[in-house]
Chain A
Amino acid sequence: SQQGEEDPQALSIQEGENATMNCSYKTSINNLQWYRQNSGRGLVHLILIRSNEREKHSGRLRVTLDTSKKSSSLLITASRAADTASYFCATALLKAGGTSYGKLTFGQGTILTVHP
Chain B
Amino acid sequence: DTEVTQTPKHLVMGMTNKKSLKCEQHMGHRAMYWYKQKAKKPPELMFVYSYEKLSINESVPSRFSPECPNSSLLNLHLHALQPEDSALYLCASSQVGRQILEQFFGPGTRLTVL
Contacts and interface: CB of A to CB of B under 8 A. Distances in A.
Contacts of A99: 98-99
Interface residues of A, number: 27
B79 interface: no
A25 interface: no
A116 to B, nearest CB: 24
Residue of A50, A99, A111 ringed by the most chain B CB atoms within 10 A: A99
A102 B102 contact: no
Interface stretch (B40-48, B60-68, B69-77): B40-48
Nearest to B58: A103
Nearest to A4: B42
Residue of A40, A103, A108 ringed by the most chain B CB atoms within 10 A: A103
Contact of A42 (B48, B55, B90): B90
B99 A100 contact: yes
Given A42-B4, A109-B42, A100 B107 contact: no
B82 to A, nearest CB: 22
